[in-house]
Structure 1
């Protein structure tokens, strides 16, 4: 992982007290491996890869409900304490997922931009953009959920 910063001439910007990191993963298949390593400590502080273990709870953003379900299935298979929230789930199911995440029953919440606006969480340790957001505004909304 490499920490970097960039400035835009105008438009939305993230809070300066948010630590932002960019991890180069190569091909698409590398994303899942990198995510697994982030939460399992595959990189640790002594690692030559520079990867840092992220401490849950965390939000993991993707671009579509199909992608959310797919990633959720992969992470459940790995035995991670994960849930998923997207527009394809009922309102009651989404509310239950949010409540479990807020209580700490769920450590990773895979979500679409449905959560990027209007749903705030306290005590979130990481926000992962598994899929890049489509705009700077969406990026700021995603990382500002904590």
Structure 2
């Protein structure tokens, strides 16, 4: 994923994960790589979440890692790439995630990573 972000995908980028632990882990990995990133999940206060969303909208944060908390309801204009770092648990969740990019006639891209364990979900 680091290579995708570093090699030409223009911000803003949304990255979806399945757990708070995974969000924190990935956040630290990307910070270490020098990527302008923040994270939003249920362990953060509402004020922290609001500040993060505001910074992402203002272009101060290039990559936003989030759990399902953000998959619905919050609209970001101009998201160029959605990365499903963890495979969505349903087709509905997948649609809500990738629906964050390519809005209002703009082009957007989505990349979904999956493992052998995720293959049964591909058929749904």
Choose 1 or 2 for highest CA Rg. Answer: 1
- How many residues align structurally? 101
| CA RMSD in angstroms, aligned pairs only | 0.7
Aligned counterpart, 2:39: 84
Aligned counterpart, 1:98: 53
Aligned counterpart, 1:21: none
TM-score by length of 1: 0.68
TM-score by length of 2: 0.79
Structure 2 unaligned regions, length at least 5: 102-124
SS at match of 2:94: helix
Match of 2:88 among 133, 137, 143: 133
Which aligned runs of 4 or more in structure 1 are off by greater than 4 angstroms? none
What CA distance in whole angstroms lies between the structure 2 residues aligned with 1:138 and 1:89? 22
Q: Which has the higher helix share?
A: 2
Cα displacement (A) at 1:39: 1.1
Cα displacement (A) at 1:38: 0.4
Aligned counterpart, 2:97: 142
Aligned counterpart, 1:46: none
Structure 1 unaligned regions, length at least 5: 1-34, 42-52
Cα displacement (A) at 1:134: 0.4
